[in-house]
Amino acid sequence: MSASRVTIVEVGPRDGLQNEAAAVPTDVKVAFVDALSAAGLPVIEATAFVSPKAIPQLADGDEVFRRIAKRPGVRYPVLVPNEKGLDRAEASGAREIAVFTAASETFNRKNINASIDESFARFAPVIRRARTAGMRVRGYVSCVFGCPYEGAIPPPSAARVARRLIDAGCDEVSLGDTIGVGVPTQVPEVVECCVDAGVPLSRLALHFHDTRGTALANVAEGLRQGVRIFDSSAGGLGGCPYAPGAAGNVATEDLLYLLHGMGYETGVDLSLVAAATRALSGAIARRPASRVYQALESARGPRPV
Ligand code: HMG
Ligand code: MG
């Protein structure tokens, strides 16, 4: 892959919607994923097969996954916490999963009711089965810079968990700034620590939430470090119900504006991502946070009444 090519992993339909207060109808979710596919996004995390008690918003994940149009060449991973989730993923026809753990023991306990060691024990059979079935597996490490319960997390703690995910069979590891506390000087620290721990740079993704407005600056620093996979959500939706106060992911529109302006290629049409956000925005109870989306909306002028 050329050094100027960046892969965007669109997580709006999962990370974005999981934290929305208003129940979003299944039809709207399906249309949202289809619109994101039409925008040229190469990877779209379509939903989560977690406990519906933990995340009621995504309880309809099975139906959403079955109904979305699967564009050739587009990957549609789903978030899976355990073997039950993998059963649902397989039954729905998913070809790619994402497992998730954290660099913080307390966050993991709140999020998935497991210690870090227990989480690995829980998804070892999930990864084994998925790989045997020919599925691709992504692993998330949450709280790589900080935890809402434990405070600052030392980079080696995040790197240890990232390496364990690779050793467990993950194809790719996404480092999550779950609560959006990281600043650019911390990005090389954690990336270098992961690479030193044996995680290949080409298999590292960065996943920034934008709680304090540092996400795009962190992306720019990640690019300087050679990272070429970034997670984002259309409109800047998102957050984690188990990370109090955490805002949405860096917005896909804002990320695209930055990347294209800096000369990187993504294959994604920014105006079509904004159209997907616009179509969804009526179903969520707030204005999408994306600055670029807002600028595009202003340029369109007032909506007809
Ligand atoms: P638990 O209560 O310890 O597990 O939850 P359990 O196995 O005892 O199950 C409890 C109930 O849930 C049972 O139902 C199970 O059948 C059911 P009951 O018998 O009480 O009626 N259940 C399921 N149902 C459907 N699908 C499943 C499933 N599993 C169990 N897969 C568990 C443990 C992990 C299941 C739960 O805590 C959970 O689902 N947590 C998910 C929380 C979550 O989705 N958080 C947000 C995603 S992570 C994130 O956003 C961070 C990330 O974006 C990166 C970053 O930003 O850092 C990835
Ligand atoms: Mg997240």
What pLDDT, in 10s, does the model give residues 89-104? 999 999 999 999 999 9
* 292 three-state secondary structure: helix
Residue 21 pLDDT greater than 90, yes or no? no
Percentage, residues of the chain above pLDDT 70: 98
Residue 45 pLDDT greater than 60, yes or no? yes
Q: With contact defined as beta carbons under 8 Å apart, do 136 and 116 qualify?
A: no
Residue range 7-300, CATH number = 3.20.20.70
Length of the chain: 305
pLDDT at 241: 72
Q: How far is CA 86 from its chain centroid? A: 18
- What residue owns the CA closest to ligand 1's atom 29? 51
Give the Å distance between the CA of 200 and the centre of ligand 1: 29
What pLDDT, in 10s, does the model give residues 127-161? 999 999 999 999 999 999 999 999 999 999 999 99
236: left (phi over 0), alpha (psi -120 to 50) or beta: left
**pLDDT: which is higher, 129 or 245:** 129
pLDDT at 51: 98
Query: Which ligand 1 atom sits closest to the C-alpha of 53?
Result: 12
Q: What are the residue numbers of the active site?
A: 240
Query: Which ligand 1 atom sits closest to the C-alpha of 144?
Result: 57
pLDDT at 3: 83
Rounded to whole angstroms, the Cα distance separating 166 from 120 reads 12
pTM equals: 0.97
- The count of C-alpha atoms lying within 13 angstroms of the C-alpha of 217, restricted to the half-sphere facing its C-beta, is 12
What pLDDT, in 10s, does the model give residues 201-237? 999 999 999 999 999 999 999 999 999 999 999 999 9
Hey, what's the torsion of the CAs at 140, 145, 151, 152, to 10 degrees?
Answer: 130
Least confident piece of the model among 169-173, 274-278, 286-290, 300-304 = 300-304
Average pLDDT rounded to a whole number, residues 239-250:
81
pLDDT at 91: 98
| Phi, psi dihedral angles at 183 (to 5 degrees) | -125, 160
**pLDDT: which is higher, 268 or 19:** 268
Q: With contact defined as beta carbons under 8 Å apart, do 55 and 85 qualify?
A: no
Rounded to whole angstroms, the Cα distance separating 15 from 248 reads 8
Rounded to whole angstroms, the Cα distance separating 174 from 172 reads 7
User: Which residues form ligand 1's pocket by a CB distance below 6 Å?
Assistant: 15, 18, 48-55, 81-82, 84-85, 88, 100, 111-113, 140, 142, 176, 178, 207, 209, 240, 242
Residue 304 pLDDT greater than 70, yes or no? no
Mean pLDDT for all residues in the chain: 96
Give residue 179's pLDDT band: very low, low, confident or very high (50, 70, 90). very high
Query: Which ligand 1 atom sits closest to the C-alpha of 87?
Result: 31
Closest to 148 in 3D by CA, of 246, 237, 19: 246
Q: With contact defined as beta carbons under 8 Å apart, do 127 and 137 qualify?
A: yes
- What residue owns the CA closest to ligand 1's atom 23? 51
What are the helix (H) ranges across 17-74?
17-18, 26-38, 61-67
**Interior angle at CA 213, CA 271 and CA 37, nearest 5:** 30
pLDDT at 303: 64
Q: With contact defined as beta carbons under 8 Å apart, do 244 and 265 qualify?
A: no
Residue 305 pLDDT greater than 60, yes or no? no
Strand extents, DSSP E, the chain: 7-10, 43-44, 47-48, 78-79, 96-102, 136-142, 146-147, 151-152, 172-177, 204-208, 229-232
- What residue owns the CA closest to ligand 1's atom 3? 113
**Interior angle at CA 75, CA 80 and CA 19, nearest 5:** 45
